[in-house]
Chain A
Amino acid sequence: MNSREDPLGSLEHVVLLAVLRLGAQAYGMNVLRDIKAATGCSLSIGAVYATLVRLESKGLLNSFEGEPTAERGGRAKRYFRLTAKGKAALRSTREMLRKMSIGIQGLEVS
């Protein structure tokens, strides 16, 4: 992410991190489960998909279809993967947050 691009929103940031954590197993419901397990935050699947679609339209993610299964009513999973631009956006956001956090006191986790 360069200075002319929009910074990541907080949900976009969390979803990108979840996709990165899940690697080859990153599909919508798994992203939802991972965010719930890691943060306790209970999102809706609609919010996750809306974010994934937005990130894909920004070129930060790409997606591909997996194999359909009977358990899913014959529907295939749609897997997501970070693009180079997505990884750069994550690095840039992390760096921005690190710089903004320098010198701040009183927010230590107890």
Chain B
Amino acid sequence: MRHGILVRAAIATLARLLPASHRPGFAGDLLEELALRERESPAPAARLWLLRQVARSVPPLVWCALARTKWLSTLSCAFVAYVAVGLTEFLVNWALSGAPGGGGAYRPLGMVLTFPAVAVIAWAAATYRRGAPWVLGAMMLLAVTVMTLTSAENLPTAYRVAYFIVGPLAVTLGAALRGRSAAPRQARTP
């Protein structure tokens, strides 16, 4: 049975938090149960079940990924990466503030320019500690949540929502690229 690209992407992203040997089993289990539920109940209900499973699986799997790494160095690496992201954002916004229409907090161009930089930073962090990008993503989500709740600036809703998506997406991309480039070397390791 074929599933949408979003379903497969969500499952593949989650599976990456597990050791390589368990990823096909995990992804296959979810697809098997989804197919079973799609036969027995309406498709939206089956998709809702999958969405819940994915959402509820994130904390234990992130924890599992971190537990396999060395804690302190992972946290330190993520912190350095977070500072690098903050510095990048500052420099981009500073550069744009001199551009026409660059004033204020609403800078979609800044978000676009920061995206590849964050992906590269996540890629570099994953080079040193495999779990660091996921900690970095969690730190960015936390920071955006706090800023959204406390900021009095009148920003468009789409811009606020994009802030929740763009950062973690860039981090995931960086980590995935690092994982892809490291995969052939891992395959040779017994």
Give the B-binding residues of A (Cβ under 8 A): 27-29, 44-47, 49-54, 57, 63, 65, 68-69, 71-73, 75-78
**A75–B11 CA distance with the chains assembled, in angstroms:** 13
Q: Chain B residues near A73 (CB, 8 Å)? A: 1, 3, 8, 27-28, 31
Q: Which 7 A-B pairs have the closest CB atoms?
A: A46-B57, A78-B25, A75-B28, A72-B28, A44-B56, A50-B64, A29-B29
Q: What is the predominant secondary structure among interface residues of chain B facing chain A?
A: helix
Q: Chain A residues near B31 (CB, 8 Å)? A: 71-73, 75
Q: A44-B53, A68-B28, A72-B28 are in contact. List 4 more A-B contacts (CB 8 A).
A: A45-B26, A50-B61, A50-B63, A73-B3
B24 touches A75 (CB 8 A): yes
- Given A53-B22, A71-B1: A45 and B63 interface contact (C-beta under 8 Å): no
The count of residues in chain B whose C-beta lies closer than 8 Å to any C-beta of chain A is 31
Q: What is the predominant secondary structure among interface residues of chain A facing chain B?
A: helix
Q: Chain B residues near A50 (CB, 8 Å)? A: 60-61, 63-64
23 contacts between A and B (CB under 8 A): A45-B26, A45-B30, A45-B53, A46-B14, A46-B59, A46-B61, A49-B61, A51-B60, A53-B18, A63-B22, A65-B25, A68-B24, A69-B28, A71-B1, A71-B31, A71-B32, A72-B27, A72-B31, A73-B1, A75-B24, A75-B31, A77-B28, A78-B21
